[in-house]
């Protein structure tokens, strides 16, 4: 019995150490949003929203595309949505009463900005979002 116990101790010790590291590390994955784009629009000359289509739409395959948002930092990562290297400000972390809001700004030859809002206070698993930049992307996110 003692031999079995002695043989298992290194494995048990390693497992306990990994479990402690896992439990003590920040749980980022649970705060991330996984978002799916439903469509893309732009503001037309008359001020109305118009769906991007045809030769105007470099987002031809945008519907169904996904991206991840790290709620704590506002970092967005995906094929059509990415703010790596931008100055990101989480304006509102969101709550049962308010939407999550983040603003990203990139300075270079010209200033670019992205405003992202998710109605995390809405009931249900899917939360509607809008991303306003040169175009307007919309869809839903899950937490």
Read off the pLDDT of residues 15-47 as tens digits, 9 standing for 90 and up: 433 333 333 334 444 589 999 999 888 888 899
CA distance 121 to 126: 11
**Mean pLDDT of the chain, nearest integer:** 81
Report H helices in the chain: 2-24
Confidence band for 4, pLDDT divided at 50, 70 and 90: very low
136 bridge partner residues: 41, 132
C-beta of residue 44 within 8 angstroms of C-beta of residue 56: no
Q: Name, in order, each residue with C-beta under 8 angstroms of 79's C-beta and a sequence gap of 6 or more.
A: 65, 67
Three-state SS at 109:
coil
């Amino acid at each position: 019995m003692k031999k079995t116990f002695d043989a298992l101790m290194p494995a048990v010790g390693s497992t306990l150490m990994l479990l402690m590291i896992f439990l003590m590390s920040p749980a980022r994955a649970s705060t991330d949003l996984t978002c799916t784009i439903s469509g893309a629009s732009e503001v037309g000359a008359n001020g109305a929203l118009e769906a991007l289509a045809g030769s105007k739409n470099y987002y031809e395959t945008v519907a169904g595309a996904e991206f991840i948002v790290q709620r704590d930092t506002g970092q967005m990562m995906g094929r059509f949505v990415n703010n790596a290297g931008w100055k990101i400000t989480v304006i509102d972390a969101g709550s049962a009463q308010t939407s999550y809001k983040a603003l990203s700004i990139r300075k270079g030859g010209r200033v670019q900005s992205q405003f992202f809002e998710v109605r995390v206070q809405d009931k249900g698993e899917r939360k509607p979002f809008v991303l306003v930049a040169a175009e307007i992307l919309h869809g839903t996110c899950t937490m």
